[in-house]
A and B are shown apart, each in its own frame.
Chain A
């Protein structure tokens, strides 16, 4: 549900939960998370309407960089240690939280949905999207926690449109690397199935809830969650 509301695939919550609470290996957690990210995207898409849908042309343009990065990240994950993955994850999450908290409100749109916007700073948007793709393939996340702040704070896209667009994108990004994990045997059906089913139901509910929420609540909820998760993963990384 949180993933659908905040434009995240949910992997940023799932990977720490699967490794910290259930003690799965990072690679199994990442593989499971990628499928769950696709389930989140599917759940949101199944509930979307024209008024609160994704900016599909924007999504596809940014996805050129993201999908390429995800394929690269999926391969590189096979040679990177679990400790490195955990610490990298925490670094990215905390950095994104800091940016969203300090820069996210200046000239960013104040309403959730608005037809009059025009995306700007495309170069920076592409760069951040490529980075989100690499991180997605490495860490099993959809990259939404980077894409939403990037679209909202950098490219000037309304937050509601940014979250819906991100939900569209994260599914594609995860699909670019999930088959790499499937081929490596890191996806176990009886772990993935209940996770994906729960995530799908939550995404459907979250998609219904989104238009009733305020921009400032979403922004600060995103920041607080990212800080909490970043700290947890730092602790995990130094404990390995």
Chain B
């Protein structure tokens, strides 16, 4: 496979992955840390319904998780736009198919 036109795409993907993953990690870390500060047990079935695990610490951690879960779709979208702009229509079509499959998975039960 000819990878030379992918160098710029790879760099953009690296930047996108770095920004989104660090943001998601930060959100998860803050949400989880608030739970630890109150010294509630983390790995415990009873914790699921504890008041401290509801509210904004939980929402913060969940937001980080969702942001991380959306990153792969963002990377595929980046590939799609990059290939389309470079007129690599076959590669853009392949990326579009993968993106549609991802969206079907996301929209079918969750998002």
Residues of A within 8 A of B (CB): 22, 35, 38-39, 41-43, 45-50, 53-58, 60-61, 63-64, 67-68, 70-71, 74-75, 115, 118-119, 168, 171-172, 174-184, 187-194, 196-197, 200
- Complex partner residue of A174 from B2, B7, B72, B91, CB under 8 angstroms: B72
For residue A140, give the distance in angstroms from its CB to the closest CB of chain B: 13
Contacts of B97 in A (CB 8 A): 64
Complex CA gap A56/B98 in Å reads: 12
Chain B interface size band reads 35 or more
Report whether over half of chain A's contact residues are helix, strand or loop; otherwise say mixed: helix
Complex CA gap A168/B42 in Å reads: 31
CB pair A46 B21 closer than 8 Å? yes
Chain B residue nearest to A182 (CB atoms) is B110
> Which B1-49 residues have C-beta < 8 A from chain A?
1-3, 6-7, 9-11, 13-14, 17-18, 20-22, 24-25, 28-29, 31-32, 35, 42-43, 47-48
Contacts of A55 in B (CB 8 A): 1, 3
- Complex partner residue of B32 from A41, A171, A172, A194, CB under 8 angstroms: A194
Contacts of A191 in B (CB 8 A): 42-43
- Complex partner residue of A179 from B7, B94, B105, CB under 8 angstroms: B105
